[in-house]
Structure 1
Amino acid sequence: MRFGLYGLHRDRNVDPGVLARRARLAEEAGFESLWVGDHIALPAGEGNPPRLEAMVALTYLAAVTSRVRLGVGLIVLPQRQPVLLAKQLTSLDVLSGGRLTVAIGAGYVEPELHAMGVSLAERGARTEEYLAVMRALWDAAPSFDGRFVSFSGVVQYPSPVQRPHPPIVVGGHSAAAYRRAVRHGSGWYGWGLDVDQTAQALRALAETARGEQRPEGLGELEITITPPGPPDLDTARRYAEIGVDRLIIELEGIDDDAVDSVIASVGETLADQV
């Protein structure tokens, strides 16, 4: 069992000094990875906390840490320009020394998608095509001809440090997300699931896998879960027993004065004993 930390791009952590200090604290405490989310423009009037843009936040985290892996998840793929995104992700992988993990999702916030020029109805098709675009660029393919993106006679260098590309984790609890994970992902990410809900999702993934062709090179699907709150040792062990490979602890809902102690205690206690 590995442990990640989610949320250092939000709230008080947007202060660069706080962000750097907590990132280093998590790295020293034994967290395997640091994760940031991807929302660019959320609906007004919902009490949204300040948040840093995901690519910028990860670049800063890459600079102030040296060992911990860096995860973007879930990046709302259909609202990103995939040629630019492929270059940004490659740059992050290079600058971090091959520490990047990319978790993708189709998104669900219609006003945000609309603001980025994407309809809710097209999000699934765009997600599939944009993933194919990025993989083509990472493989140095000089052309692509799709419904939403086409190019010819261009390539991107350098290549990612991790070959053929950083690990792709697929998030979401829908049947389409399960299929996408089986077909394309090195892992699947479930958000806000307790142990029983996780077990149910894993059964659905297994059922999906029986009807889908999974490429041999992807290996076994790695399972990542963000639980509803910081788990105690017994709960973490229950996740591990049903096949979860990584728990990502979310900082939202934890009083800011307690964040440092939570990072230290979760990292040291759970990582040592699970």
Structure 2
Amino acid sequence: MRFGLYGLHRDRNVDPAILARRARLAEDAGFESLWVGDHIALPSGEGNPPRLEAMIALTYLAAVTSRVRLGVGLIVLPQRQPVLLAKQVASLDVLSGGRLTVAVGAGYVEPELNAMGVTLAERGARTDEYLTAMRALWSAAPSFDGRFVSYSGVVQYPSPVQKPHPPIVVGGHSAAAYRRAVRQGDGWYGWGLEPDEVSRTLDTLAETARREERPADLGELEITITPPSPPDLDTVRRYADAGVHRLIIELEGIDDDRVDDLIASVGNDLVDRA
């Protein structure tokens, strides 16, 4: 079992000194990865905490760490310009020395999507097409002609360090997300699931895989879960028995004065023993 930490892009962690200190603490504690989320503009009046933009936060984290992997999850793919995002992903993979993982989702916050020029109805189609277009750019294909994005006679360099590109993880609990994971994902990311819920979801993913064609070069689907709360060792073992490869511990709901202790204790109590 591998352990990630989610949430260093928001709340008090937007302070660069706090962000750097906690990132290094997590790296030293043995966390496999640090993950940030992606919301650009959330509805007003909901008490939204401050949060850093995902790709910028990861670039900073790449500069202040040296070993821990860096994950964006979930990046709301349809509200990103895919040619630009492909360049950002490749650049960050180069600057981090090949430590990047990209988890994508179709999004669900309609005002945010609308603010970025995307309708809720077309978000799924955009997500599928943008993934294909980005893969084409990473493979140095000079042209792409789609419904939402087209280009011709252009290439991007440098290429990502990881070949053919950083791992693509697909998030979401819909039938469309399961199909996308099977067809295009190196992994699947589930949020807030207990071990028994994971087992049922993986049964659904297996059934989806029997109906959908999975490219032979993708291999086994890696399963990543954020539990509802930080798990104890017995619960970690239940997740492992259910087929989970990575648990990402979320910081939301943890008193800020306890965050450092939580990072250290997960390293001592789970990372070293699981």
**TM-score (ref. length: structure 1):** 0.99
Matched, 1:249 2:249: yes
1:269 aligned residue = 269
Mark the runs of 5 or more structure 2 residues left unpaired by the alignment.
Answer: none
How far 1:271 moved relative to its partner?
Answer: 1.1
2:97 aligned residue = 97
1:118 aligned residue = 118
2:131 aligned residue = 131
1:192 aligned residue = 192
SS in 2 for 1:74: strand
2:140 aligned residue = 140
1:27 aligned residue = 27
Amino acid at match of 1:109: V
Amino acid at match of 2:273: Q
C-alpha distance in 2, partners of 1:205/1:117? 31
SS in 1 for 2:161: coil
How far 1:268 moved relative to its partner?
Answer: 2.2
Cα-to-partner distance string for 1:88-144 (whole Å, 9 max, x where unaligned):
000000000000000000000000000000000000000011001100000000000
1:213 aligned residue = 213
Cα-to-partner distance string for 1:52-73 (whole Å, 9 max, x where unaligned):
0000000000000000000000
2:203 aligned residue = 203
Which runs of at least 4 in structure 1 moved beyond 2 Å after TM superposition?
none
Matched, 1:8 2:14: no
Cα-to-partner distance string for 1:25-79 (whole Å, 9 max, x where unaligned):
0000000000000000000011110000000000000000000000000000000
2:36 aligned residue = 36
**TM-score (ref. length: structure 2):** 0.99
Contact 2:5 2:249 in 1 (8 A): yes
Amino acid at match of 1:41: A
Contact 2:41 2:112 in 1 (8 A): yes
C-alpha distance in 1, partners of 2:175/2:223? 16
Amino acid at match of 2:24: R
C-alpha distance in 1, partners of 2:2/2:160? 24
How far 1:199 moved relative to its partner?
Answer: 1.2
C-alpha distance in 1, partners of 2:183/2:267? 33
C-alpha distance in 1, partners of 2:255/2:54? 23
C-alpha distance in 1, partners of 2:268/2:106? 34
